[in-house]
Amino acid sequence: MKITWLGHSGFKIEIAGEVLLIDPFLTGNPVFPQERKAEAVEGVTAILVSHGHGDHVGDVIDTAKAGDLPVYTMVELAGWLGTKGVENVTGFNKGGTVSIGDVKVTLVHAVHSSSNPEGGYAGGEAGFMISGEGHTIYFSGDTDVMADMKIFNDLHAPDIGLLCSGGFYTMDMRRAAYAAKTFFDFKTLIPCHYKTFPVLEQSAQELIDALPGVNVVEPEVLQAIEV
């Protein structure tokens, strides 16, 4: 399995024969090298979108239409994407699970907000549980700490966490560390939704220091992490 950070909350995950693109915000992302967009989307087989904010849905429409790629997201956001010409879009809801080849993806709750880039209703904000190759990845989406995370661990037992950790709009490093220690038993943890803008945290050292038994990996843009 390979997990590649695309800056902010964007990831490319190669798992069980699939290549999943999550929350691709490439255009206008100050930490993403604009000349490498083609590399970021090469080989992608499906797109997952956690919620409707522009820094998560940014390149979804163009990427999906260019490659005729299936998109999986909250049902109301799926409807909006359909009006933008995304033809292969599946809208599901929290607690629902879809199969993408041999990969299972469950939409789970998050605590944040959501609207599409035009300001319209986009359903609720969410995260994903992604299972394949004997692993389960928890992609938190944008969220604060919440007691629901205990239920997520009881039901899914994720061993890999992709946690928003930048603060201001989401959990910061301290709160993400609390979530990881209190509710999960991650073997590998990758922070995201940080470094992008000055208002966000720029280092994951606090997270690393707080979780000595966890392999906390500070990702570099477009450098694959093998798990």
Domain positions in the chain are: 2-226
Residue 176: the pLDDT is: 98
pLDDT confidence of residue 167: 98
> Tell me, what's the pLDDT at 188?
98
Quote the pLDDT of residue 131: 98
Assigned fold of 2-226: Metallo-beta-lactamase; Chain A (3.60.15)
Q: Provide the 3-class DSSP secondary structure of residue 83.
A: helix
What's residue 160's pLDDT? 98
Question: How far is residue 189's CA from residue 206's CA, in Å, rounded to a whole number?
Answer: 13
Neighbours of 62 (CB within 10 A): 17
- Per-residue pLDDT at 106: 98
- Cβ-in-10-Å burial (0-12, 13-18, 19+) of 68 comes to exposed
- Given a cut of 50, the residues of the chain with pLDDT beneath it are none
The Cα–Cα gap between 15 and 150 comes to 25
What is residue 144's three-state secondary structure?
coil
